[in-house]
Amino acid sequence: MLFVRTLQRGTLPLVLLAAVALTGTEADAKPAFAMKERVDCLYCHVQPGGPRNFRGLYYDANKYSFANFDNEYEAKAAGVEPDSKGADAVPKNKNYPNVPVPKALNFTLKNIDGKPVKLARYAGDVILVVNVASRCGYTPQYADLQKLYDEYKKKGLVVLGFPSNDFGMQEPGTEAEIKEFCTTNYKVTFPMFSKIAVKGDGQVPFYKFLTSKETNPKHAGDIQWNFEKFLINRKGEVVARFPSKVKPTDPEVIKTVEKLLAEPRPGATATE
């Protein structure tokens, strides 16, 4: 009788929907991130409904959020390939996700396309950090930065460009405009980041670390202008700083870069 009444009232579809919901399993449901990115269960699980791989472990550890997820870094930390899925994405590093990160690289910033990047993804490389601008007298140094990057990237050098409008309002554009300017005029291929403040009240934590006497006593001091440069060695230590007027192709810069590149990566064997 109840079934007849339900049918007559037109509520049967709701009843059936509720029944389906009750019989569904947790493994069938996709989180909002997975739905948005159009990924399947193997993106986060060894098998549907099974143990988590490195992405699933991250998702769980960060209270079910991928807000600051950097797939390239997390894969590196887990010891697997960035495009691995399912069982292939199970961490080979038994310490994952508790992987030590150098203090100078323990920061997450957004790249020029707005995606989160953990600077720790560059651990083991020699890193040249530069605050850049599109309308500065030093802007042609983009060409020198690209030349340096092309020359030494296969040996482990990475150049990181951080646009800033802090000096003379010389970087007023949007990230899209900055990207277009760099690629069109200087063929920039090294990593570029979203516009940030490198001094003052809005200074991002990464640049606060670089300029503070407490965290970087040997090379501390406020950023004075666009295109100041910091060098970070393979151990994640800040080892040199060059003022704006010193070009990336200056003999002293190249000498220092080559010296740092000659140092072994942490944990590398003699044959690597």
Active site residues: 136
Residues 6+ apart with CB under 8 A from 198: 131, 162, 164, 166, 204, 207, 211, 223
Q: Within 10 Å of residue 160's Cβ, how many Cβ atoms? A: 24
Grouping H, G, I as helix, E, B as strand and the rest as coil, residue 3 is: helix
Q: How far apart are CA 80 and CA 93, in angstroms?
A: 8
The answer to whether 152 and 127 are in contact (CB under 8 A) is no
Tokens of 211: 């300029």
Whether residue 173 contacts residue 185, with contact meaning beta carbons closer than 8 Å, is answered with no
- Helices 12-23, 2-9: inter-axial angle, 10-degree rounding: 110
Q: Among residues 244, 254, 238, which one has the least CA distance to residue 164?
A: 244
Question: Roughly how many angstroms between the first and final C-alpha of the chain, as a whole number?
Answer: 78
**Tokens coding 28:** 């069938």
Rg of the chain, C-alpha, whole Å:
24
Tokens 């399912």 -> residue: 86
User: CA–CA separation, 178 vs 171, rounded Å?
Assistant: 8
| Residue 125: strand, helix, or coil | coil
CB atoms within 10 A of CB 258: 14
